[in-house]
A = this chain, B = another copy of it.
Amino acid sequence: MNIPVVENVLKINDQLAALNRRRLGQASICAINLIGAPGCGKTALLEATLRLLSADFRCAVLAGDLATQRDADRLAKYCPRVVQINTGKGCHLEAGHVAQALEQLNLADIDLLFIENVGNLICPVGFDVGQNYKVGIFSTTEGDDKPAKHPYIVMEADLLLLNKIDLLEHVPFDRELFEHDIRRLKPDSRLLALSARTLAGIEPWIEQVRQWKNAAPGKQ
Q: List chain A positions with a Cβ less than 8 A from chain B.
A: 1-2, 5, 8-9, 37-39, 65-68, 70, 89, 91, 118-123, 126, 139, 141-143, 145-146, 148-152, 164, 167, 170-172, 197
Given A9-B2, A70-B148, the answer on whether A119 and B37 have CB atoms closer than 8 Å is: yes
Copies of this chain, complex-wide, total 2
Given A68-B148, A149-B66, A152-B66, the answer on whether A91 and B139 have CB atoms closer than 8 Å is: no
Chain B residues whose CB sits within 8 angstroms of the CB of A89 once the complex forms? 122, 126, 152
Asked whether, in the complex, the Cβ of B122 is within 8 Å of the Cβ of A121, the reply is no
Closest to A150 in B: B66
Shortest beta-carbon distance from A155 to chain B in Å:
11
Pick from B66, B122, B197: contact of A151, CB under 8 Å: B66
Chain B residues whose CB sits within 8 angstroms of the CB of A38 once the complex forms? 37, 121, 142, 146, 149-150
